Amino acid sequence: MTRFPILALLCLAPLTQAQTPATPPPGHDHSLNIPGIKKELFAGITDADLLKLGTEPKSVKVTLVATFNAANYGMNFNGWSHGKAILTVPVGWKVDVTFINPSPIPHSAIIIEKSDTKKLQITEPYFEGGATPKHLVGLTVGQATMSFTPDEAGEFALACGFPAHAVSGHWLAFNVSADAKAPSLQLGEKAAVEIK
């Protein structure tokens, strides 16, 4: 526990130096000046890339960019945090995740139960394979992949596994549905859109 305040300071210090608006809009602004961001690592990626159909049948491709912009002190995926982007996939579909962190602040990705977003630290992914390597340590300026196949319907989260980030809002809602015939993506207040 003694590490937590130091880690929190490491997370926040570079961002507070940036000249950014107090409440940046979610999702779209790449231009905010966060020191050390390698923009070429996520050139052309938007929040529509959070959920696409995969190349295999019954599979989806998820692209998560941590620190996409300065929203939530950089603790966002493709601009979204606090579960305000909602990915829904049918039960039994394979989920291939590409995780990109263009920033020098460590982040990671892990599939957890939604209720576990309240925990400071999550040791294991809920579904086998559903964590980037060394998710508690995180990854800086690079990318990693993970794949899992949810065999159980329920409310989950694609969260950052770096300690204290999920509880600070670094997570997206991930629903596994027994009823849905196709995946869908809901961004904020907009209606959910089926992914075709």
Angle at 131 between CA 127 and CA 137, to 5 degrees: 145
Q: Is 110 in the site for Cu ion (CB under 5 A)?
A: no
**Least separation in angstroms between CB 177 and Cu ion:** 26
Q: Output b/e per residue, 77-96; b: 16+ Cβ within 10 A.
A: bbbbbbbbbbbbbbeebbbb
Given the complex with Cu ion, which of 93 and 162 has the nearer CB atom? 162
Residues 150-169 that bind Cu ion (CB under 5 A): 160, 162, 165
**Least separation in angstroms between CB 165 and Cu ion:** 3
Given the complex with Cu ion, which of 101 and 175 has the nearer CB atom? 101
Single residue of 144, 170, 176, 177 touching Cu ion by CB under 5 A: 170
Q: Is 171 in the site for Cu ion (CB under 5 A)?
A: no
Given the complex with Cu ion, which of 68 and 162 has the nearer CB atom? 162
Residue nearest to Cu ion according to CB distances in the complex: 160
Given the complex with Cu ion, which of 61 and 165 has the nearer CB atom? 165
Q: Is 107 in the site for Cu ion (CB under 5 A)?
A: yes
Please tell me the count of residues contacting Cu ion according to CB under 5 A: 6
Given the complex with Cu ion, which of 84 and 107 has the nearer CB atom? 107
Q: Provide the mask over 46-75, with x wherever binding to Cu ion is found by CB under 5 A and - wherever it is not.
A: -----------------------------x
Q: Is 34 in the site for Cu ion (CB under 5 A)?
A: no
Residue 43, token pair as written in the block: 């050139």
Q: Is 144 in the site for Cu ion (CB under 5 A)?
A: no
- Sheet with strand 184-187: strands edge to edge: 110-113, 154-159, 171-177, 85-90, 184-187, 193-194
Q: Is 135 in the site for Cu ion (CB under 5 A)?
A: no
Interaction site with Cu ion (CB under 5 A): 75, 107, 160, 162, 165, 170
